[in-house]
Amino acid sequence: MSNNQDENNLTGSNISGEKRTNNILGDRIFRIVLTLCATLILVIVAAMIAVMTQSSWLSIKEFGFGFLTGQNWDPIKGEFGALPFIYGTLVSAILALLIATPISVGVAVFLVEQAPKKLARPMAFLVELLAAIPSVVYGLWAIFVLAPLLRVYVQPFLQQTLGFLPFFKGTANGIGMMSGGIILAIMITPIITAVVRDVLEAVPVTQREAALALGATRWETTKIVLANANSGIAGAIVLGLGRAIGETMAITMIIGNRPEISLSLFDPGYTIASVIANEFTEATGDLYLSALIEMGLILFLVTFIVNGLAKLLILSVARQTAQSH
Amino acid sequence: MSKISVSNLNFFYGKAQALHDISIDILEHEIIAFIGPSGCGKSTFIRTLNRMNDTIPIARVEGKVTIDGKNIYEPNTDVVSLRRKVGMVFQKSNPFPKSIFENVAYGIRINGIHKNKADLNERVEKALNDAALLGEVKDRMNTSAFGLSGGQQQRLCIARALAVQPEVILMDEPASALDPIATQKIEELVVELKKQYTIVIVTHNMQQAARVSDRTAFFMLGKLVEVNRTQKMFTNPDEKLTEDYITGRFG
């Protein structure tokens, strides 16, 4: 059929005139359908913002900008401040990234550059399986295994060796910001690993060969591969960050749920997602409910801003790589 | 004297045999060209000379390749220093995502060849000069290598290979992706480099082999059919098969 058409085009024949019109009509419909799909996304996002803004209007009017900087969360007295939750969300997510990024990149490099094929495939599968474990199971594991481990061994050790730092002061709780960050790290490792693995596999073999041919060792060759992949790796990290910020169940079970800002990672904290999950069903009173919905709006904005910043970072890294290194 | 001596080399990808009983001597400071139809094993063969095939898990080698009298397939061979001694330029130019300067400096740095910063600069400039590229890039050494044209990128890759001071340079169809003018530059360069290096060049292009090489080897179906002085090879080859290929009766 396509042969036919080509011939017609070549000879400028008129026979297919009607058929061409049909094709153009088809293209138009195709374009309209695609445009609708794309618009739908924008409409959904706009609708979500509109509805959340409307539902939280009571709280926005009552507290104004002070909602963001307020540190008290006392539903009984009618005081609502979001700062401890924003702090808890960001700190636990950043902690998770600090732990998960090197591990994920390491696993991905091992899978792509070092492991024999026979080992790499089942191992990659296992890593991806980690992503399939329900988050409530992670939460339980954190309560029964991770927290006691931290309380009895890790935190006392950190206190003795690095106790002069504000992050490792106070009582070893087990349950708190540190265990929250670690559980998030475990949860986002599979996704970062999977994306980094794809990125590394996309680096052309010719880059590895170029390095090897110059007498590079495996480690030096790997550095070349990573130099090729760094904007992709940054993208993977952003993906992990998004997940860490939005994660609810596991972190709610382990972070301690106390709306306080403390530099110490041993102390309990609270995240935005956790407070919504914990208190939404028992929110009595319109202002309380409205404040929780405003929290949702803030979570939305935080994710938005963090992603935006990360995108900018990737762009600048990519530009640097392209220009000079 | 012979720089590289290959005797009874067999090469396998898994069960498939890609090279059959190859024996050849490559002399110091000569340019030897490998020609033959696609899939004849000439690229596979050139990659056995610096053990580049090691990266392929299912590859297996039998026989001997000695360079300066040492069999490079001995178990205790230091592959890293072997590859420093036997440099390679690939079919597609493959600069690193770094600046022009850093591309050339890379091999010098990882091998710790330079004494200090000034020495490094000097070596980078010399390599670029030897690769006939310095004049075109000296004002933009710190810009990305990706900003160069295809031919310039390939000469950059040659400069990068020269910078580590190899003794042998393997070139796997170095000009096949380039236009005629860039190709001509590469060819002139190859002839110029002969003074200092032993050069093995794989090429699809018989005219190219005729123009640049001292000797030519003709491969067919994984076998080495004939090695001869290039002039003789293209005027009066010993083998009927060679003549058929060169005169374009097949291939």
Q: B52-85: b or e for each residue (b if 16 or more CB lie within 10 Å)?
A: bbeeeeebebebebbbeeeebeeeeeeebebbbb
Stretch among A95-104, A142-151, A154-163 having the lowest mean pLDDT: A154-163
- Identify the residue whose tokens are 């594991």: A141
A169 compared with B216, residue with greater pLDDT: B216
Decide if B94 and A206 are in contact by the 8 Å CB cutoff: yes
Closest to A245 in 3D by CA, of A237, A233, A234 = A237
Question: Closest Cα of chain A to B109: distance in Å?
Answer: 10
Could you tell me the residue ranges of all domains in chain A?
2-55, 66-323
The rounded distance, in Å, linking the Cα atoms of A226 and A273 is 34
A83-97 pLDDT, tens digit per residue, is 999 999 999 999 999
B79 inside domain: yes
The rounded distance, in Å, linking the Cα atoms of B99 and B110 is 16
Give the percent of chain A with pLDDT over 90: 67
Question: Closest Cα of chain A to B46: distance in Å?
Answer: 12
A240-276 pLDDT, tens digit per residue, is 998 999 999 999 999 999 999 999 999 999 999 999 9
**Which CATH fold would you assign to the domain A66-323?**
MetI-like fold (1.10.3720)
Instruction: State the amino acid at position B82 in one-letter form.
Output: L
Decide if A215 and B88 are in contact by the 8 Å CB cutoff: no
Question: Left if phi > 0, otherwise alpha if psi is -120 to 50, otherwise beta: which for B250?
Answer: beta
φ, ψ for residue B216 (rounded to 5)? -130, 140
The rounded distance, in Å, linking the Cα atoms of A284 and B35 is 85
Q: Residue B107: which of A205, A215, A323 has the nearest Cβ?
A: A215
Q: State the residue range of the domain holding B6.
A: 2-246
Any CB–CB contact under 8 A between A120 and chain B?
no
In order of A25, A30, A41, A50, A128, the CA distances from A37 in angstroms are 19, 11, 7, 20, 30
pLDDT at A8: 45
Q: Cβ of B29: how many Cβ atoms within 10 Å?
A: 15
Q: A27-64: b or e for each residue (b if 16 or more CB lie within 10 Å)?
A: eeeeeeeeeeeeeeeeeeeeeeeeebeebbebbbeebe
Confidence of residue B77 (pLDDT cuts 50, 70, 90): very high
| DSSP secondary structure letter of residue B144 | B
Confidence of residue B204 (pLDDT cuts 50, 70, 90): confident
CATH number, domain of B140, equals: 3.40.50.300
Mean model confidence pLDDT for chain A? 88
The rounded distance, in Å, linking the Cα atoms of B219 and B236 is 17
Structural domain count of chain B: 1
A276-310 pLDDT, tens digit per residue, is 999 999 888 899 999 999 999 999 998 888 888 87
Confidence of residue A163 (pLDDT cuts 50, 70, 90): confident
Decide if B143 and A323 are in contact by the 8 Å CB cutoff: yes
Confidence of residue A150 (pLDDT cuts 50, 70, 90): very high
Decide if A210 and B94 are in contact by the 8 Å CB cutoff: yes
Decide if B83 and A207 are in contact by the 8 Å CB cutoff: no
B251 inside domain: no
pTM of the full structure: 0.84
Question: Closest Cα of chain A to B107: distance in Å?
Answer: 6
Decide if B83 and A215 are in contact by the 8 Å CB cutoff: yes
Any CB–CB contact under 8 A between A78 and chain B?
no
Provide the ipTM: 0.90
- Identify the residue whose tokens are 């094929």: A117
φ, ψ for residue B10 (rounded to 5)? -120, 140
Label residue A286 exposed, middle or buried (CB < 10 Å: 0-12, 13-18, 19+): exposed
Q: Residue A321: which of B83, B97, B164 has the nearest Cβ?
A: B97
